[in-house]
Amino acid sequence: MPRYAMVIDLQRCVGCGACSIACRNENNVPEGIYWSNKITETVGTFPNVRYHYIPTLCNHCEYAPCVRGCPTKAMHKLDNGITMHDPKKCIGCKYCEFNCPYGVIYFNWKEPHQFWKNNKVLFKGGTSSPREEVEKVGAEKTPYFNPERGATLPANRPKGVVEKCTFCDHRVSKGLLPTCVEACPANARIFGDIKDPDSDVAKLLGKFRPFRLREQLGTNPHIFYIRDFNPAQYRPTKGGI
């Protein structure tokens, strides 16, 4: 059985957000919820400042606090290492969201995709209302509805349960890469079986010293970050007093 992991090459990542957009479309992610997200940071004092961008998603931790704490095993591990959620078993206690050290779980506080129920048109006779668009496309809840998501998870999750990234388990089980990996124009996301020494993931981890988020917590996250985007040059110096 493979153990899936992802390497994110921060030197290649240009912070375009294509991963997050692709993820929304693939997984029918509701407004306000982010399966694929980012941590941005500006360091230094003007004019010596620099911007950092770290793409984030569920780390599919080996010792996942979200799984450990879930009272009904709705949040559970698959044999391939993916941390998976079953909304049918979820009682909406939100303990997993409370427990996840990485802030990647969200709760459906209300019925998702409410925007698309709206009947209002911007220009009468000119534009269609969100609801008309959905009806015209014949989709479920949103015009960009992806029914394939429904293979392993309700394609649209109901209110009252949590949701998060599943490493696109529905694609992976068919031999396809997670959609964020496919969508990345810079090939900054590398996905594969960390147990296979010939996988690109395993090779990269042997070549660079990766870091992981909040490693000290002992969760053994399976998103590895390598390198850093920093083309800056500086004149060799010993500083001064």
Partner 1 sequence: MSEKKGLYGIWLVVLGIAILIGLYTALKIFIQGHGLFNTNDVIIWSLPLGVYIFLALTSSGLTLLAGVPLVLMVKKYEPFAKRLVFLAIATLLGAFVAIGLELGSVENMFWILFSPNFSSPIWWMGFIYSVELLVLIVKFWRMHKGDWHSGFSNALGVISFLLALIAPLMIGSVFGITESRVTYFGSMMSVYSLVLGLLSGTALFLLYSTIFHRVTGNGAVERQTPLYNEFTVIFAYVAGIAVVLSLVKFAIESASTVPEFLVYHKFEHAFGAWQGFHFEVLLGLFLPFVLLLIPSVRKSMGGKAVTSALILVGTLMMHMEILLAGQSHPVGPKAEQYPAFISYFPSIWEWLVFVFALAVMLLLYTLGERYLKLAEAPQ
**Residues at the contact surface with ligand SF4, assessed by CB under 6 A:** 58-61, 64-66, 69-72, 74-75, 83, 85, 90-96, 100, 102, 104-105, 162, 164, 219
Residues with Cβ < 8 Å from 152, sequence gap 6 or more? 84, 166, 169, 170, 173
> Which partner, partner 1, ligand SF4, none, binds residue 21 by CB below 5 to 8 Å per kind?
none
Nearest-angstrom CA–CA distance, 216 and 196: 26
Residue 133 tokens read as 């668009």
The residue within the footprint of partner 1, chosen from 6, 74, 177, 184 (CB under 8 A), is 74
Where does residue 166 rank: exposed (0-12), middle (13-18), buried (19+ CB within 10 A)? Answer: buried
The residue within the footprint of partner 1, chosen from 14, 31, 50, 98 (CB under 8 A), is 98
Query: Shortest distance, CB of residue 131 to partner 1, whole angstroms?
Result: 19
Q: Which C-beta is closer to partner 1: that of 110 or that of 174?
A: 110
Residue 84 tokens read as 């998976």
Query: Shortest distance, CB of residue 32 to ligand SF4, whole angstroms?
Result: 17
State yes or no: residue 217 binds partner 1 (CB under 8 A). yes
| E strand spans, 12-85 | 37-45, 48-56, 75-77, 83-85
Nearest-angstrom CA–CA distance, 109 and 30: 11
Residues of this chain that interact with partner 1 (CB under 8 A) are 32, 34, 37-40, 56, 65, 68-74, 88-95, 97-104, 106-111, 158-162, 213-214, 217-218
